[in-house]
Amino acid sequence: MSRKISIVLVVAVLAAFLGYAAWKVLLAPSDLPPDGFARGNGRIEADLIDVSTRLAGRVSTISVREGDLVQPGDVLAVMDTTELVAQKMRAEAAVASAEAAVAVAQAGVTETEARLALSRSELARAETLNERGVVSGEELDIRRTEAQLAAAGRTAAEAGVVAKQRAVDAESAALREIEARIADSTLYAPQVGRVLYRLAQPGEVLGGGGKVLTLVSLGDVYMEFFLSASAAPRVRLGDDARIVVDVMPDVAVPAVVSFVAPQAQFTPKQVETIEERESLMFRIRVRLPQEMVAKRLAQVKTGVRGVAWVRLAGPDGSVPDWPEGLTPPLATGLPAPQHGAAGGGN
């Protein structure tokens, strides 16, 4: 009798186990997003900025190291400017010489004006004396010719001043060009970021456009992922989103949908069935708020894996509210800085 009871218990336990397994495989809810939501795998990303030289030259100093956080306007590196400084001194001397030539030409104008005034005075006197019969007509013609030559001399002197001034402008332009080259020899951080690679060392000679540093721009931190053709058109630009990184599975970071691809990123060769149409994927980008990133620059890292959640608009354009029970649970932001932020290593 006890043996029969034992067999019944074993059969019951086995039946219960098989039933649970069947429920788990066939009837248990699948790991799908709730209605009105979509998600995709991605990683925290940011644009890379190559800090390069505009002119060929030798690297004098590099002020930062890999991993340093830089702010807009920080000096990153300085190229050697010994030759440029010498060229600047030569250009400054050329400008001074051209300006002196202008002063000489202006003095010439003053001299020709005095000669013109004298010749006109003598001409007027000669005309008066000619009317009285004291001066001959030949003498009067000479005075008139001298006045005309004096007027022409003044015109030529004034033109000479203009030409000398144009020479000053040319030398000044050459000086400004050299000054611009000297200014370009100091490399500044274009925006807030972190030094990812240091590609040159002091003393190295680089060609024009040679890369010195690579920065990770922290002015635009985002996550990209892909959604199917049935979900992507229902994602609205500017709508709220959530990012959950693997290192903090219990925290959902608020984000904003900043990009929805206007066309599929990859497609089958032929799209003939419903299943093939579903395989069309669109790239989606959700961006972290800049003010939140700015408060936690020391914690934000790129390359961290995670999941992005977005809401899907209904036929009337409405979107569902973020539910409290969404897994992982939502939060209003990142935890305190001492507990980390949206990132691991670069």
240-262 pLDDT, tens digit each = 898 888 888 878 888 999 999 88
In CATH terms, 32-47+221-339 corresponds, of 2.60.40.10, 2.40.30.170, 2.60.40.1120, 1.10.540.10, to 2.40.30.170
Can you name the CATH fold of 51-81+189-206?
OB fold (Dihydrolipoamide Acetyltransferase, E2P) (2.40.50)
Q: 32-47+221-339 and 51-81+189-206 share one CATH topology? A: no
Tokens found for residue 41: 């795998």
Nearest to 150 by CA among 125, 128, 122, 129: 122
Count of CB atoms within 10 A of residue 247's CB? Answer: 15
Which string of b and e fits 176-213 if b means at least 16 CB within 10 Å?
eebeebbeebebebbebbbbbebbbeeeeebeeebebb
Distance of CA 142 to the CA centre of its chain: 73
Q: Which amino acid is at 18?
A: L
- For the ranges 5-19, 36-50, 113-127, 272-286, the one whose mean pLDDT is highest: 36-50
Whether residue 279 has pLDDT greater than 80? no
**Contacts of 226 by beta carbon, 8 Å cutoff, 6+ apart:** 40, 265, 281, 282, 283, 284
pLDDT band at 318 (very low <50, low <70, confident <90, very high): confident
Q: Structural domain boundaries of the chain?
A: 32-47+221-339, 51-81+189-206, 82-184
- Backbone phi, psi, residue 288, to 5°: -75, 140
Nearest to 66 by CA among 197, 189, 188: 197
Crossing angle between the packed helical segments 137-184 and 82-131, to the nearest 10 degrees: 170
pTM of the model: 0.67
What pLDDT score was predicted for residue 65?
A: 95
Task: Average the pLDDT over 44-49 and give the result.
Answer: 92
Task: Average the pLDDT over 49-62 and give the result.
Answer: 94
Q: What is the end-to-end Cα distance of the chain in Å, rounded?
A: 69
